Amino acid sequence: MERFTPRQKLWLEHDGRLVMSDYRVRLLELVAESGSLAHAATVLGLSYRRAWGKVKEIEANLGMPLVQSAIGGAGGGHTTLTPEGQELVRAYRRYQARLERAMAEAFEEELGGLTGPGQSVPRP
Amino acid sequence: MERFTPRQKLWLEHDGRLVMSDYRVRLLELVAESGSLAHAATVLGLSYRRAWGKVKEIEANLGMPLVQSAIGGAGGGHTTLTPEGQELVRAYRRYQARLERAMAEAFEEELGGLTGPGQSVPRP
C-alpha cells in the first residue's frame, strides 16, 4: 500500500471524440474563480484566442452555453460561467471525487497486498 | 446518457514511475491465455525481446516473479504465469471491473443530465 499509488484519468466522449476532461473542467473552473478568461488562459499557458476556442468547442460539444462575457478592454473583459456552466463544473467535480474515493477503496481491497519484493497478492 | 460515454484510464505508480497499467496486465494475460510470450508479443505488435524486457521490468517494479519459462525452440518455448502472476492478473481485473461499475454509476447519477443541446445538468 505504501509503495504503490493508484492513478486514474477520466474523460467523456461523444462518437469517439473527447468532449470533457479534467483539463477542460479546470479551464472552466479557472474562469469561474478569476472572472477572467485571459487569467485562465495564462494559468494554463494558452493564448487567449486558444482558450476562447477551447471554451467554444466545449460549448458546441455539450450543446449548452457555459460562459458569458461583458465587453472589456485589454485581456477580453470580464467572463463568468453561466448557471449551466457552474453546475457542469460542480457536477463534474462531484463525479471525479466519487471515483477518487472508489479507486482508493478498490485498490485497498483488491491490490492492497502489493507491498513489494517477496510479497504476493492475497485473495480477499 | 445516450450521447456521452464516460471513459477512464487506470494505472499504478511507484515514486512517480508507471509500474502497472491496462497494457501491462494485457501482456501478462496474453501469456496466460496462449502459454507463449512470442504469441503475446505478436498480438501487441512488440518484438519478442521487447515483450520479454517489459515482463522483466514489471517483475522488478513489483518485486515478484510473474512468469516461468521452459526452454524451447524458435519463439522462446513455453511461458506461463507463476501463481503470483496469475493472482496479480485476476486482482487487477477485479480492480478494473469495480471501477468500471463505479464510473457508470457515478456518471449516471452526477452527469446523467448531459443529454445534448438545450439541456442543463440537473442537481441530484
For an interface test with A, give the residue of B4, B61, B86, B88 to mutate (most A CBs within 10 A).
Answer: B4
SS3 assignment, position B34: helix
| Grid cell at residue B56 | 522483466
d(CA B86, CA B89): 5
Q: Above 0.85 for ipTM, yes or no?
A: no
Model confidence at A92, pLDDT cuts 50, 70, 90, reads very high
Give the 3-state DSSP-derived string for B67-102, with helices as H, strands as E and coil as C. Answer: EEEECCCCCCCEEEECHHHHHHHHHHHHHHHHHHHH
pLDDT tens per residue across span B44-53: 999 999 999 9
Q: Are A12 and A19 within 8 A, CB to CB?
A: yes
Number of CB atoms found within 10 A of residue A43's CB: 15
Q: At CB < 8 Å, which residues of chain B contact A?
A: 3-14, 19-20, 62-64, 83-84, 87-88, 91-92, 94-95, 98-99, 102-103, 106-107, 110-111, 113-114, 116-121, 123
| Grid cell at residue A77 | 473583459
In chain B, what residues touch A19 (CB-CB under 8 Å)?
A: 4
Q: Give me the pLDDT at residue A72, please.
A: 60
Exposed / middle / buried, residue B13 (Cβ in 10 Å: 0-12, 13-18, 19+)? middle
pTM as predicted: 0.83
Contact at CB, A121 and B83, closer than 8 angstroms: no
Alpha helices in chain A (DSSP H): 22-34, 37-44, 48-62, 83-111
Which amino acid belongs to residue A123?
R
| Grid cell at residue A17 | 471524440
d(CA B1, CA A58): 17
d(CA A9, CA A22): 8
Model confidence at A16, pLDDT cuts 50, 70, 90, reads confident
Mean pLDDT of chain A: 88
Is pLDDT above 70 for B76? Answer: no
d(CA B117, CA A110): 40
Contact at CB, A121 and B88, closer than 8 angstroms: yes
